Structure 1
Amino acid sequence: MPKFGSTLPKMDDVFKSHPHPEILTDLITSQRLRAVDILQNLIPAKITEIQALIKQEDNPSSPLYRGQVNEPAYTDPKIFQPTDTARLQVGEDGEKLGLGKIIMPKDITSIKGSGNSNHDGDDVRMGSHWFEVVQLNPIQVKCMNIVTKELEELHLLSQDLKVWLEMEIPVVEDGNSFGAEVQAHLISQLTDAYKKSNSMQNGVRAHHTDRLKLATDWAKYPNFPDFAAAIAASDRFDHHLLRSYLRSVLILYGGLLTRFERNWPKVINPKGSHSSGGMY
């Protein structure tokens, strides 16, 4: 570390001689405009959108329809060994879902006749059965895409509001701090909102990891019917969980908008004086 002698640098004029005074001014200007748009337009629109998605639970044509859990995609998962031509998986609506490169049994194992006259033409596949294919649940994937989009937008809107509100906090001083405490409470609520969003996104992602573990074991022990039942139960629960997440998102949006509206005078003017740099 270089030596500077016994004289310590002075810090008094750090902000008096700020080389870029416009940076914070430009930032708070843009974030105030963003906050106005979020609170006046975007959150109310999201509340309406989430309510419409929840209503789709009564629409049989929607992937969010509560009766989807009684369809074969949820009740009857399949495991199969692909052929050289079975390179594509087709969803219920005819959509082709690529499986990527498939490693075939002949690529890794030897095959020999079973020698059982009652099963002419059957072959015994030697070695571990890790080349089996368990199809995706296409309905659940559509639900995941819908809910993930809502969770990502909740996260970003909450963070944008937090960026703005952090810049509205007044000078820290003794007395008359209730407005600042309201701001701090709202910042805490915004932080909680995007943390809950992250947690729910992890819950959405767990659908694939849970199925991966069950399907891997099923491929190892293909004669155990409990694996099919376990995947069906897991998919059914995941469909319920995603619909529950939509209600959680609605709670978060409704709660945030209500808190901001009811505490707005303290949010924009926490010291009761416009000299503090409030919004108006």
Structure 2
Amino acid sequence: MDFVQSFTTEVGQTAENLLHKTFPKKIAELDKSLRDPEFSLKNIEKIRQCSWTSLGVLQNNEKKVSVNEGLQSVKIADREESRQVEVNKAITNIMDRLRAEITGLIDYCNILRLWVTLLLPKIEDGNNFGRSVQEETVNEVQNAECELALYLSQISNYFSSRAKIATKIIKNPHVHDYYRYIAEEDEKQFVNFRLMLVDIRNTYSSIHDLILKNIEKIKRPRNSNYGSMY
């Protein structure tokens, strides 16, 4: 029993530290990141150039064919064993940073959800408004966790989709549409990454706002005989 009580106290302290220190700091950091050149929509040109670089690897001096897509001429070696399609390094650098933000927020949401759950009082007749506020808060945090988990799936799907086309490029190097598909997919993924970062910042902000506005009802649900949830 002593361990359970100690664990509950520790969860509460961690949760309140997240709310009062970590969340405001992360909101400011992410808002600043969205203004960085790395996540600016003007960075699409760099993403496009990295796409062509990833498609134009040469490993020998065999006869080459030019694939001109309007931006630059991408050289592809004729011999199949000499061809390879690399990852878009600009995309993977952003992805690594974004994945850390996603998994970090998932972990924070898990702690907050557990904290509010442990504060739930037993079900009684009447005076359950505070409990309903707690349950709604738990649902909101859980929904955020689910959406964040979907972001991780989107990242995996991007690599799977790109790899399929890369395989086709290796087998059919003269089909220029495949090259254009890779470039377009990389640009689309960059825009998706930026939107993910916006959503992560907004999730931090909305959860922080929701809990702090209802903190009295969440921490002391039985003292709330009337009122409304923000």
TM-score range, shorter chain: 0.7 to 0.9
2:41 to 43, 51, 66: 66
Q: TM-score, normalised by structure 2?
A: 0.84
1:41 aligns with 2:21: yes
Residue 265 of structure 1: aligned partner: 216
The answer to whether 1:182 aligns with 2:157 is no
Q: Deviations over 1:120-177 (max 9, x none)?
A: xxx985xxx4662112211111110111111011100000111111110001111111
Displacement of 1:209 after TM fit?
1.4
Within 2, Cα distance between the matches of 1:130 and 1:231? 20
Counterparts of 2:53 and 2:15 in 1: how far apart (Å)? 48
Q: 1:264 to 1:124 in 2, by over 3 A?
A: closer
Q: After TM superposition, what 4+ stretches of structure 1 lie above 4 angstroms from structure 2?
A: none
1:220 maps to which of 148, 162, 171 = 171
- Alignment partners' CA distance in 1, 2:167 and 2:58: 13
Q: Is the 8 A contact 2:15 2:115 kept in 1?
A: yes
Q: Which blocks of at least 5 consecutive residues in structure 1 are unaligned?
A: 1-20, 84-122, 274-280
- Structure 2, unaligned runs of 5 or more: 61-76, 225-230
RCO comparison, higher one (Cα < 8 Å, 6+)? 2
2:3 to 20, 23, 43: 23
Q: Residues 229-253 of structure 1, C-alpha deviation per residue, up to 9 Å, x if partnerless?
A: 0000000000000000011111211
Counterpart for residue 32 of structure 1: 12
Q: Is 1:199 the equivalent of 2:150?
A: yes
CA spacing shift, 1:37–1:24, aligned 2, 3 Å: same
Tell me which amino acid in the other structure corresponds to 1:272: N
Structure 2 letter corresponding to 1:229:
R
Which residue of structure 2 lines up, in the alignment, with residue 78 of structure 1? 55
For the structure 1 residues 54 and 246, does the alpha-carbon distance in structure 2 shift closer, same or farther, using more than 3 Å as the test? same
SS at match of 2:35: helix
- Please state which structure has a larger fraction of its residues in helix: 2
TM-score, normalization: structure 1?
0.69
> 1:166: which partner in 2?
117
Greater Rg by CA: 1
Moved more, 214-223 or 74-83: 74-83
Amino acid at match of 1:260: I
8 Å contact from structure 1 (residues 151, 197) kept in 2: yes
The 8 Å contact of residues 154 and 193 in structure 1, kept in 2 or not, is answered as no
The AA in structure 1 aligned to 2:140 is Q
Show CA shifts across 1:62-90 (max 9, x none). x323222213113565244635xxxxxxx
Alignment map for 1:86-105 (pairs within 5 Å): none
Indicate the percent of aligned positions where both proteins have the same amino acid: 20
SS at match of 1:206: helix
> Aligned pair count?
207
Contact 1:73 1:137 (C-alpha < 8 Å) held by counterparts: yes
The answer to whether the 8 Å contact 2:34/2:40 transfers is: no
